[in-house]
């Protein structure tokens, strides 16, 4: 009877497939997975000490900006805005850095998604470059430098903004205070009251205790001493024992810093809460701004203000400064070139700068001692046909987090669209910081892991929440971005790191601009250092 | 030896071989019906077909295994019993599943797979039993296997071609099911009659067979009525048109002179009183703008608002943006529905665009004198965005300086907070607003909002187009709100808070018990 069965199966399957338009179904048996490892090849060539090529041509410019992440773009934006046109932005191996975005060409049209950072909190009063940029891009509609600017509703995260899967069901918000016992709820309240107090606190120098940009935070030792203990140790010392609070803070630290509270300093752990003082005329405190492709919207906005002739595709291999200027050996589309610049803004991550600038120790930065630990990240975007089912009383939010999971949840790229019908396709972008092993081990695994294993890890939360079959039948394509050196981790001593302090103050032929200078990775810090380097050049 | 035993070497029983052909056809037919039905009702045909086939084949394996427990002396009788059972279950399968889906969707999948499994077990027993019957009557086993399998495959081939090409499109799944069920029962009856000497309990078996046959024949004749009755159970009236599009389920019903359109089960209009809704939606604005030439209708694919707009001779162009081509096709092709909208969608002045209104407004640069926003009520976060400050600002960009925007604004009686929230939202977007209301009996007291960039709108006191509902008095009452419908202090609907969706839920939560 075997043959009869097989016959029945094939004919029935053929009838089923014929009912589908165009027999697309066969491709669905395997979901196409693309893996991107931005900067890895170029970075490993530098690390491996590959022989340097000989320059075939020379490019002269006033200011070379090396790197097109937010710091490099902000520096170029500042120069362009002030009418300085003798500069060249060398894109580097990772255009847009952690603010990169991607695009799927779905059957119902193109869909943008983030390949890295996906939101911006309401900028603090002190984040003047960010506010200036947002005003230029129409995201701030009025009063850009006042205490409460008015923000474009299109960019404010639309309701429902976030939900937490806790104790078997979805809840509003990410801290489940209303769903835990009274003792735990009291600890939540005490923690939030403490961070609210710290948000308003100022040090003996009159500066805010915790500020974005970090450079404007108080240097009062009363707060700085928090840089010497881990966040977990501080929580224990302060009597915070609530498991749900710890779960939440573990999530926050991995989401913000790529590391767990036992690795992150107490100063950094509290900074996340107490530095967010930004307010809006038309949104609640703590609101967020987002776009379908995350912060790539802002990166594109910056890049659009830099003339194409001032941008060069390629990356620096060696940088040397002398009394005459800076000499940069650099790859370009037309072969290796030597850029001779009067001044150079190194807007690359410090682990790359340490390889490219042979004498970086002369600037007060010893990579062996001063390079912050770096967290490996994995960002996976899934192009879905339709949406998986959701409970009627807890619809899909922009950010969806599973309490206690090792993943960091997923954001929905079509959330901000205004549409009469739900889009036929959407993109879920799932985040994961590989915070449970040493960064070295995680990077070694990421460098060689097969696409299927990476997908397995990246889609782990989605598959266990919605069911593997549901995800398989909806997923049309997957793109995974690996960031082995995703972000600097603000470990204990990060604030007092003398190497970072030295690079921040550098003001010679060579200038440094990168969020690494702050010891942690957020848009506002990168924009701050980029803007500052641009201003130093302008004098 | 039985009287009908064959001499060795001769062809086996033609009757039984023929029944192999029929049995094989029916076996495949039930599998295809279950697969097609679940693809149709649940979507995703690859998943549905593969899981149904898997379940069915596995069940057939179980059936083949179970067949060995049938005693050699009972083989023929059991075969007949199983044929009757397969005929009954298989014949009813499609109709049973349809009815189940219409009334309760929760246990549908469980019922589907249980039915497929039981059918598979029974079908799996058929061929082994037939082979045993034949084997007892014929010496050459190799000849037997070859014959049986040949006809088994031929039967499957016949159905696999007939089903998608003829049966499913012409007869529909329900009737195809009944037809194959009758074929199974026919095999049972024929076998029963032919071997009547060998089978104990002939009479009750014959009676049972005839009863099942009559039942299935009645089903075949009445299956259309049955389906219509199922939908009538859902909608109350006779369904004259129903379709499922990628966006929604459209059902048109009729009871005497009342034609109704339901989208996803929600009433969109009743032909008895829709003139009240559509006159109120269109004429107060257009009567006050004799200069208006270009109108835009967002939603409203039924063409009823367009019909009212076209009554104004000064209108030169109407653009209708509706998401669903099935909706606009239905209302521009179906004679009965075209009589309702007076052929508005085929009028040369009308341009129908099937696009998402949100996306279309973002990409188009056209400017209009009148914009009608006739969207579904803000019952979800997605729909709530169509009643938000940014979308009204976007509409303002498409509106002439002295033009008017009219917004369907839910019921000021049942959903007062929602109604006044829409008013507040329009004002937050910079419009000067003129809320009004009209009694549409099939909806109840319904609300609208007329918004303009400049103040100074005065409700018309006469109409230059023929109206059934509007006149000076009814218009004056529309723009006046009695004390029990007075404005409420509410927040405008901003995207980051979506107050409207919360108000709407709260409002209707109080109405629906």
Contact B302, B259 (CB under 8 A): no
Residue B2 has pLDDT above 60, yes or no: no
**Mode of pairing for the β-strands spanning A101-106 and A475-488:** unpaired
Average pLDDT rounded to a whole number, residues A396-406: 96
Q: Give me the pLDDT at residue B3, please.
A: 38
DSSP assignment of B341-375 equals HTTGGGSTTEEEE-S-HHHHHHH----EEEEEEEP
**Backbone torsions φ then ψ of B448, nearest 5 degrees:** -140, 165
- The predicted model gives A110-124 an average pLDDT of 97
Distance CA A441, CA A438 (A): 5
Confidence (pLDDT) at A7: 41
Cα–Cα distance measured from residue B200 to residue B183, given in angstroms and rounded to the nearest whole number? 23
Residue from B492, B495, B498, B509 to probe the interface with A (highest A Cβ count within 10 Å):
B495
Which residues 289-308 of B are in CB contact (within 8 Å) with A?
298-299
pLDDT of residue A245: 97
Angle at A471 between CA B105 and CA A40, to 5 degrees: 170
* CB-CB contact of A220 with A212 (8 Å): no
Q: Which residue of B has its CA nearest to A280?
A: B496
Residues of chain A with CATH 3.90.660: 24-39+105-119+373-488
Measured between alpha carbons, how far is A345 from A339 in angstroms, rounded to an integer? Answer: 13
Any idea where the domains of chain B sit in the sequence? 14-223, 273-511
Catalytic-role residue among B374, B377, B423, B507: B374
Beta bridge partners of A399: A162, A411
Q: Is B137 helix (H, G, I), strand (E, B) or coil?
A: helix
What is the share, in percent, of chain A residues with pLDDT greater than 90? Answer: 88
HSE of B233, CA atoms in CB hemisphere, 13 A: 13
Interface test with A, best of B27, B37, B49 (most A CBs within 10 A): B49
Q: Is the model's pLDDT at A5 over the cut of 60?
A: no
- Per residue in A310-333, pLDDT tens? 999 999 999 999 988 999 999 999
Beta carbons of A473 and B388 less than 8 Å apart: no
Evaluate if residue A17 carries a pLDDT over 60. no
From chain B, the residues in CB contact with A3 under 8 A are 149
Q: How many helices (H) and strands (E) does chain B have?
A: 17, 11
- Shortest CA gap B308–chain A (Å): 23
Q: Which of A21-35, A343-357, A465-479, B247-261 has the lowest mean pLDDT?
A: A21-35
B123 touches chain A (CB under 8 A): no
Q: Which of A251-255, A351-355, B264-268 has the lowest mean pLDDT?
A: B264-268
Rg (CA), chain A: 24
Q: Which residue has the tokens 């990476």?
A: A454
At B4 the pLDDT is 41
Report the pLDDT value the prediction gives residue B227, as an integer from 0 to 100: 66
pLDDT digits (tens, 9 = 90+) for A496-538: 999 999 999 999 999 999 999 999 999 999 999 999 999 999 9
B60 touches chain A (CB under 8 A): yes
pLDDT of B32 over the 60 cut: yes
Domain at A40-99+292-372+491-538, CATH class: alpha beta
Using the Cβ of B509 and the Cβ atoms of chain A, whether some distance falls under 8 Å is answered with no
* Cβ count near A216 (within 10 Å): 14
Q: CB B497 to CB A1 under 8 A?
A: no
Q: Is this model's pTM higher than 0.90 or not?
A: no
DSSP SS3 for A483: strand
Q: Class for domain A24-39+105-119+373-488, per CATH?
A: alpha beta
Judge whether residue B169 has pLDDT over 60: yes
Q: How many residues does chain B have?
A: 513
What does the pLDDT average to over A30-45?
Answer: 91
A419 to B358: CB separation less than 8 angstroms, yes or no: yes
> Would you state the pLDDT for residue A163?
96
Helices (H) and strands (E) in chain A — how many of each?
A: 18, 21
CA dist list (Å): B477 to B28, B94, B436, B438: 66, 54, 9, 8
For residue A163, the distance in angstroms to the closest alpha carbon of chain B comes to 14
Instruction: Please answer whether residues B87 and B185 qualify as being in contact, where contact means their C-beta atoms are separated by less than 8 angstroms.
Output: yes
- Enumerate the residues of chain A whose CB falls inside 8 A of the CB of residue B31: 8, 12
Provide CATH code, domain B14-223: 1.20.1250
The tally of CA atoms less than 13 A away on the side-chain side of residue A211 is 20
Give phi and psi for B263, each to the nearest 5: -115, 120
Among B481, B479, B500, B487, CA closest to B420: B487
Let me know if B374 is a catalytic residue. yes
Per DSSP, B245 falls in state: -
Asked if pLDDT for residue A449 goes beyond 60, the answer is yes
Kindly determine whether residue B381 and residue A395, on different chains, have CB atoms separated by under 8 Å.
Answer: yes
Chain position carrying tokens 């460098």 = A447
- The mean pLDDT value of chain B amounts to 88
The mean predicted confidence, pLDDT, of chain A is 92
Mean pLDDT of A19-45: 68
Note the pLDDT of residue B43. 62
Residue A214 has pLDDT above 70, yes or no: yes
B19: tokens are 């029944």
CA distance B126 to chain A (A): 11
Chain B residue at shortest CA distance from A21:
B45
Q: What is the DSSP string of B377-390?
A: PS-SHHHHGGGSHH
Mean pLDDT of B208-224: 88
The residue in chain A having the minimum alpha-carbon distance to the alpha carbon of residue B150 is A4
What percent of chain B shows pLDDT beyond 70?
A: 92
Higher pLDDT, A27 or A301: A301
**Residues spanned by CATH 3.50.50.60 within chain A?**
40-99+292-372+491-538
Give the B window 73-112 contacts with A, CB below 8 Å.
Answer: none
Runs of H (alpha helix) within A155-242: 182-200, 221-224, 231-237
Distance of alpha carbon A337 from alpha carbon B282, whole angstroms: 68
- Contacts of residue A283 in chain B, CB cutoff 8 Å? 496
Cross-strand pairs, A4: none
Among the partner residues A25, A156, A473, nearest to B496 by beta-carbon distance: A156
CA B64 to chain centroid, in Å, comes to 39
Contact A13 B49 (CB under 8 A): yes
Q: Is the pLDDT of residue B397 over 60?
A: yes
pLDDT tens-digit profile of A144-199?
999 999 999 999 999 999 999 999 999 999 999 999 999 999 999 999 999 999 99
pLDDT at B104: 57
The full DSSP string for A414-468 is TTT---SS--SEEEEEEEEE-TTS-HHHHHHHHHH--HHHHHHHHTHHHHHHH-H
Q: In this structure, how many other beta carbons lie within 10 angstroms of the beta carbon of residue B477?
A: 15
pLDDT digits (tens, 9 = 90+) for A262-315: 999 999 999 999 998 899 999 999 999 999 999 999 999 999 999 999 999 999
Q: Looking at the DSSP assignment, which residues form a beta bridge with residue B318? A: B295, B350
Q: Hey, what CATH topology would domain B273-511 get?
A: Rossmann fold (3.40.50)
pLDDT value of residue A444: 95
């Amino acid at each position: 009877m075997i043959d009869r069965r097989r016959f029945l199966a094939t004919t029935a399957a053929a009838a089923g497939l014929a009912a589908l338009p165009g027999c697309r179904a066969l491709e669905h048996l395997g979901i196409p997975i693309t893996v991107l490892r931005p900067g890895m090849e170029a970075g490993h060539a530098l690390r491996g000490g590959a022989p340097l090529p000989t320059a075939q041509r020379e490019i002269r410019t006033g200011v070379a900006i090396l790197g097109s992440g937010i710091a490099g773009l902000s520096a170029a934006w500042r120069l362009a805005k002030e009418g300085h046109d003798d500069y060249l932005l060398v894109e580097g191996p990772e255009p847009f850095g952690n603010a990169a975005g991607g695009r799927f060409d779905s059957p119902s049209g193109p869909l943008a998604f983030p390949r890295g950072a996906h939101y911006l909190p309401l900028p603090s009063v002190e984040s003047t470059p960010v506010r200036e940029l947002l005003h230029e891009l129409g995201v701030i509609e009025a009063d850009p430098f006042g205490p409460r600017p008015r923000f474009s509703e299109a960019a404010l995260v639309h309701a429902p903004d976030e939900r937490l899967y806790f104790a078997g069901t979805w809840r509003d918000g990410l801290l489940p205070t209303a769903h835990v016992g009274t003792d735990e709820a009291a600890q939540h309240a005490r923690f939030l009251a403490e961070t609210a107090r710290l948000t308003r606190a100022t040090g003996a120098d009159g500066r805010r205790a915790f500020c974005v940009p970090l450079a404007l935070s108080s240097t009062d030792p009363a707060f700085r001493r928090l840089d010497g203990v881990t966040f977990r140790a501080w929580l224990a010392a302060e009597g915070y024992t609530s498991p749900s609070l710890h779960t939440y803070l573990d999530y926050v630290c991995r989401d913000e810093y790529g590391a767990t509270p036992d690795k992150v300093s107490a100063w950094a752990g509290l900074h996340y809460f107490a530095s967010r003082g930004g307010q809006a005329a038309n949104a609640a405190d703590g609101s967020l701004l987002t776009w379908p492709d995350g912060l790539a919207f802002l990166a594109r906005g910056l890049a659009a203000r830099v003339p194409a002739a001032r941008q060069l595709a390629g990356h620096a291999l060696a940088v040397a400064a002398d009394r005459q200027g800076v000499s940069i050996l650099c790859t370009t589309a037309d072969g290796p070139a030597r850029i001779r610049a009067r001044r150079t803004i190194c807007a690359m991550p410090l682990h790359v700068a340490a390889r490219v600038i042979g004498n970086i120790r002369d600037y007060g930065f010893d990579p062996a001692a001063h390079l912050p630990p770096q967290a490996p990240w994995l960002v996976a975007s899934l192009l879905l046909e339709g949406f998986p089912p959701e409970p009627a009383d807890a619809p899909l939010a922009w950010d969806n987090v599973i309490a206690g999971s090792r993943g960091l949840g997923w954001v929905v790229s079509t959330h901000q669209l205004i549409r009469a019908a739900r889009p036929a396709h959407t993109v879920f972008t799932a985040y994961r910081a590989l915070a449970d092993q040493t960064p070295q081990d995680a990077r070694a695994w990421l460098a060689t892991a097969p696409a299927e294993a990476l997908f397995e890890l990246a889609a782990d939360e989605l598959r266990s929440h919605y069911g593997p079959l549901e995800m398989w039948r909806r997923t049309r394509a997957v793109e995974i971005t690996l960031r082995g050196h995703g972000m600097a981790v603000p470990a204990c001593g990060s604030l007092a790191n003398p190497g970072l302090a030295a690079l921040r103050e550098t003001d010679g032929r060579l200038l440094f601009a990168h969020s690494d200078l702050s010891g942690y990775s957020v848009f506002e810090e990168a924009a701050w250092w980029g803007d500052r380097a641009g201003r130093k050049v302008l004098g | 030896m039985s009287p009908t035993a064959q001499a060795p070497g001769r062809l086996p029983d033609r009757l039984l071989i023929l029944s192999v052909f029929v049995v094989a056809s029916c076996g495949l037919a039930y599998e295809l019906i279950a697969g097609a039905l679940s693809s149709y009702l649940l979507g995703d045909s690859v998943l549905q077909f593969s899981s149904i086939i898997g379940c069915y084949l596995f069940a057939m394996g179980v059936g083949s295994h179970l067949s060995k427990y049938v005693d050699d002396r009972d083989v023929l009788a059991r075969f007949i019993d199983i044929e009757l059972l397969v005929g009954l279950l298989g014949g009813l399968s499609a109709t049973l599943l349809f009815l189940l889906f219409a009334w309760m969707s929760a246990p549908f999948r469980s019922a589907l797979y249980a039915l497929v499994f039981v059918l598979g077990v029974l079908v799996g027993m058929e061929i082994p039993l037939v082979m045993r019957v034949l084997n007892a009557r014929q010496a050459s086993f190799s000849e037997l296997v070859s014959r049986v399998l040949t006809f088994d495959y031929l039967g499957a081939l016949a159905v696999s071609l007939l089903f998608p090409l003829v049966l499913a499109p012409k007869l529909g799944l329900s009737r195809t099911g009944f037809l194959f069920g009758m074929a199974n029962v026919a095999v049972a009856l024929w076998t029963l009659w032919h071997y009547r000497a060998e089978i104990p309990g002939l009479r009750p078996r014959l009676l049972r067979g005839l009863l099942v046959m009559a039942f299935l024949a009645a089903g075949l004749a009445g299956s259309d009525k049955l389906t219509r009755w199922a939908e009538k159970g859902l909608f109350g009236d006779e369904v004259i048109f129903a379709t499922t599009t990628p966006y929604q389920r459209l059902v048109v019903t009729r009871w005497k002179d009342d034609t109704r359109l339901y989208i996803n089960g929600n009433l969109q209009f009743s032909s008895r009183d829709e003139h009240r809704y559509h006159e109120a939606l269109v004429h107060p604005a257009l009567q006050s703008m004799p200069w208006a030439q270009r109108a835009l209708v967002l939603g409203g694919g039924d063409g009823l608002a367009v019909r009212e707009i076209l009554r104004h001779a000064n209108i030169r162009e109407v653009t209708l943006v509706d998401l669903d081509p099935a909706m606009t096709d239905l209302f521009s092709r179906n004679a009965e529905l075209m009589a309702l909208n007076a052929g508005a969608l085929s009028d040369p002045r009308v341009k129908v665009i099937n696009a998402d209104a949100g996306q279309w407004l973002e990409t188009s640069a056209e400017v209009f004198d009148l914009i009608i926003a006739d969207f579904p009520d803000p019952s979800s976060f997605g729909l709530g965005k169509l009643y938000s400050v940014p979308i009204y600002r976007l509409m303002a960009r498409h509106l002439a300086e002295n033009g008017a925007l009219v917004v369907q604004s839910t019921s000021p009686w049942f959903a007062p907070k929602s109604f006044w929230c829409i008013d507040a939202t329009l004002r937050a977007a910079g419009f000067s607003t003129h809320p009004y209301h009209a009694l549409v009996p099939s909806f109840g007291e319904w609300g609208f909002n007329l918004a303009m960039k400049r103040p100074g709108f005065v409700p018309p006191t006469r109409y230059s187009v023929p109206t059934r509902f509007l006149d000076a008095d009814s218009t004056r009452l529309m723009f006046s709100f009695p004390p029990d419908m007075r404005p409420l202090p509410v927040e405008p609907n901003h995207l980051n808070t979506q107050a409207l969706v919360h108000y709407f839920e709260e409002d209707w939560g109080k109405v629906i018990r």
